[in-house]
Amino acid sequence: ATAVMWFRRDLRLADNPALLDAVAAGDGSVVGLFVLDPLLWDQSGGPRREHLAGSLRSLSESLGGRLVVRRGDPVEVVRALAAEVDAVSVHISADYGPYGRRRDAAVEKALRCPLVSTGSPYAVAPGRVLTQQGSSYRVFTPYFHAWLEHGWRQPVDAPPDIEWVDAKGDRLPSSKVVAGEGAARDQWEAYLDEVAEYGEVRDRPDLDATSRMSVPLKYGEIHPRTMLADLARRRSAGAEGYRRELAWREFCADLLAGHPDAAWKPLRPEFDKMEYDEPGDAFDAWCRGMTGYPIVDAGMRELASTGFMHNRVRMVVASFLVKDLHVHWKFGARWFMQNLVDGDLASNSLNWQWVAGCGADASPYFRVFNPSTQAKKFDPDGEYQRRWIPELGTPDYPEPIVDHAEARLEALRRYDAIR
Ligand code: FAD
């Protein structure tokens, strides 16, 4: 017998329950498949593609070069490969996003063998923790307590002795990025030595002191269970604060699973009536990092050139787009999804909704970030801003495209109209 292991957001061998099931079903004989879905790949920016390609190269190396990568519609590709190798079953770990769920239902229908789903990219799968009324949580703190109480199991090792079965594949896209399971493990272990200070440094983009684990988490090069088990062995306020952030990631996934429309529509229905401007020249200036507000421009340029942006700066640029430029958050969210290497529909949309004031447990709309105050507080020496804007302080740097004080009043006026 041969089973197919269809890797998606679980590009690793350790602590991969779906892989354990594939090995059991195939009696050790498994085909490892990754589908390059043009719908996702063609929309991704350069840094995002490079990371995924680097991660696939590393996964393929751990499979003795036998990862089968095929480009095409997943329904067609998975059906065809399963038929070619006469698979007893196809194994996946669950995807809770709206597109992933539709795709998996279509694949299941097209297959002649079972599609078996085991595990998820979360310590506690979406929908598992419920209020006493049986509904999902809309406020983070009670969710967090229920999540802790629910708990998770200990990580398991990679299965030994897998016979990876070869099949014809397309060429792997090239990449210079070092990524994958081993790199993720090294990055995490190095970061663990610093986690105790997490609370003091996490808001400072100039210090570059956060873990950057959002990227390996996005591709499942490491499972959050593994990280939570390591954190539990370190008793520090930093480790606890870090665990809370991992819970935010799971809260976002839980919300999106319960409200698939929240990907692009406000969770608070009154925001449907909010007046926004069309994303014209001001939106272009925002994307290119040319707004004349250095903290905003530094963040947007960091994003364009590296595919990453610090969390504090994500909040500042998002608030600026929505409340200073009056552009709907969905345009910013789409730009982020195309460019962020860690771009994740649940974390991205729900955080945008939080900033835009229309989310479940959102920051109140009337609290408008002042970009200059934020910059003084979180980049006190201006180092982060100078790093990304070499022409800062010269005539080449643009004048502010809006007046923040006026833009703030306009944002409040529009908010008053929907209250
Ligand atoms: P650390 O500070 O080291 O945090 C550790 C981990 O906790 C992160 O890797 C992440 O998995 C999780 N985490 C931390 N903060 C959050 C949060 N607010 N929400 C959910 N999870 C969190 N994160 C993504 O992974 N993908 C996205 O597409 C994404 N889009 C965002 C859009 C906006 C507008 C905002 C404000 C935040 C967004 N975030 C997103 C959350 C957060 O900014 C990133 O997870 C974090 O900056 C990643 O850097 P890090 O790994 O160094 O974070």
What is the SS3 assignment for the chain? CCEEEEECCCCCCCCCHHHHHHHHHCCCEEEEEEEECHHHHCCCCHHHHHHHHHHHHHHHHHCCCCCEEEECCHHHHHHHHHHHCCCCEEEECCCCCHHHHHHHHHHHHHCCCCEEECCCCCCCCCCCCCCCCCCCCCCHHHHHHHHHHHCCCCCCCCCCCCEECCCCCCCCCCCCCCCCHHHHHHHHHHHHCCHHHHHHHCCCHHHCCCCCCHHHHHHCCCCHHHHHHHHHCCCCHHHHHHHHHHHHHHHHHHHHHHCHHHHCCCCCHHHHHCCCECCCHHHHHHHHCCCCCHHHHHHHHHHHHHCCCCHHHHHHHHHHHHHHCCECHHHHHHHHHHHCCCCCHHHHHHHHHHHHCCCCCCCCCCCCCCHHHHHHHHCCCCHHHHHHCCCCCCCCCCCCCCCHHHHHHHHHHHHHHHC
Arithmetic mean of pLDDT, 280-302: 98
Closest protein CA for atom 9 of ligand 1: 214
Provide, rounded to the nearest whole percent, the portion of the chain with pLDDT above 70. Answer: 100
CA torsion 21-24-28-34 (nearest 10°) is: -20
Q: What pLDDT was estimated at residue 390? A: 97
Q: What pLDDT was estimated at residue 298? A: 98
The model's pLDDT over 198-221, given as tens digits with 9 standing for 90+, comes to 999 999 999 989 999 999 999 999
User: pLDDT band at 365, cuts 50/70/90?
Assistant: confident
Closest protein CA for atom 34 of ligand 1: 352
The model's pLDDT over 10-34, given as tens digits with 9 standing for 90+, comes to 999 999 999 999 999 999 999 999 9
Residue 116 has pLDDT above 80, yes or no: yes
283, 194, 312: which is closest to 242 by C-alpha?
194
Question: What is the distance in A from the centroid of ligand 1 to the CA of 217?
Answer: 10
Cα–Cα distance between 254 and 189 in angstroms, integer?
28
Q: Dihedral sign, CA of 13, 19, 20, 22?
A: negative
Q: Is 315 in the pocket of ligand 1 (CB under 6 A)?
A: yes
Distance spanning both ends of the chain, measured CA to CA: 62
Q: Is 318 in the pocket of ligand 1 (CB under 6 A)?
A: yes
Provide, rounded to the nearest whole percent, the portion of the chain with pLDDT above 90. Answer: 95
Question: What is the distance in A from the centroid of ligand 1 to the CA of 338?
Answer: 16
Mean confidence (pLDDT) of the chain: 96
Q: What pLDDT was estimated at residue 362? A: 73
Arithmetic mean of pLDDT, 162-167: 97
Residues 6+ apart with CB under 8 A from 321: 283, 286, 327, 329, 331, 332
The model's pLDDT over 301-315, given as tens digits with 9 standing for 90+, comes to 999 999 999 999 999
User: pLDDT band at 176, cuts 50/70/90?
Assistant: very high
pTM (predicted TM-score): 0.97
Cα–Cα distance between 127 and 125 in angstroms, integer?
6
Residue 363 has pLDDT above 80, yes or no: no
Closest protein CA for atom 43 of ligand 1: 311
Arithmetic mean of pLDDT, 256-273: 94
Lowest mean pLDDT among 43-47, 93-97, 151-155: 43-47
Residue 377 has pLDDT above 90, yes or no: yes
User: pLDDT band at 223, cuts 50/70/90?
Assistant: very high
Q: What pLDDT was estimated at residue 364? A: 82
Residue 374 has pLDDT above 90, yes or no: yes
- Ordered by where they begin, the domains of the chain are 3-120 (3.40.50.620), 124-154+182-258 (1.25.40.80), 269-418 (1.10.579.10)
The model's pLDDT over 47-102, given as tens digits with 9 standing for 90+, comes to 999 999 999 999 999 999 999 999 999 999 999 999 999 999 999 999 999 999 99
Q: Is 348 in the pocket of ligand 1 (CB under 6 A)?
A: yes
Residue 278 has pLDDT above 80, yes or no: yes
Residue 135 has pLDDT above 80, yes or no: yes
Q: Dihedral sign, CA of 109, 110, 115, 120?
A: negative
Tokens of 357: 């004031």
Backbone angles phi, psi at 86, to 5 degrees: 55, 55
Closest protein CA for atom 21 of ligand 1: 249
Given a contact cutoff of 8 angstroms between Cβ atoms, the answer to whether 122 and 224 are in contact is yes
Q: What pLDDT was estimated at residue 225? A: 97
Q: Is the ipTM of this complex over 0.85?
A: yes
